[in-house]
C-alpha cells in the first residue's frame, strides 16, 4: 500500500473556492478514473493551506492511475486550466508514505 500526501498553498482568499472545486469537480473526476481519495482537509491555522491524500496499491497502480487522470482530455482541457487561478503550483509538496505494520490505514 502506498499513500500520497499532498499539501497545497491556495492563493489568498481562494481556499473556499478550491475546496468546492476539489469536492465537486476534481475528486469525482479522479474517482471516476479509479483513484482512491483517502482524505481531504483544510488547515485550521493556515487559511491558505489545503491537504489531501490518495491511496494506491503499489507503484504500478499509481503510474496507471496518473496516466488515466492526467493524460485524459477532460483533465487537460477542462480541469487543469482552472487550477492556477486558485493554487500556487510552485509550492505543492508531495510526500509518498508507506504505512507501518501498526498503522490503522493499511
pLDDT digits (tens, 9 = 90+) for 43-74: 999 999 999 999 999 999 999 999 999 999 99
Q: Is 28 exposed, middle or buried (0-12, 13-18, 19+ CB in 10 A)?
A: exposed
Query: What CATH number was assigned to the domain covering residues 2-97?
Result: 3.30.70.100
pTM for the complete prediction? 0.93
Tell me the pLDDT tens digit for each residue of 22-51. 999 999 999 999 999 999 999 999 999 999
Cα–Cα distance, 25 to 79 (Å, whole number): 8
Amino acid at each position: 500500500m502506498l499513500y500520497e500526501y499532498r499539501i497545497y498553498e491556495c492563493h489568498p482568499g481562494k481556499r473556499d473556492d478550491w475546496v468546492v472545486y476539489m469536492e465537486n469537480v476534481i475528486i469525482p473526476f479522479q474517482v471516476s478514473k479509479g483513484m482512491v481519495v483517502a482524505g481531504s482537509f483544510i488547515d485550521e491555522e493556515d487559511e491558505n493551506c489545503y491537504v489531501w491524500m490518495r491511496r494506491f496499491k503499489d507503484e504500478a497502480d499509481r503510474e496507471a492511475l496518473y496516466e488515466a487522470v492526467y493524460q485524459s482530455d477532460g483533465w487537460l482541457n477542462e480541469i487543469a486550466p482552472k487550477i492556477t487561478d486558485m493554487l500556487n503550483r510552485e509550492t505543492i509538496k508531495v510526500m509518498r508514505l508507506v504505512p507501518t505494520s501498526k498503522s490503522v490505514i493499511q
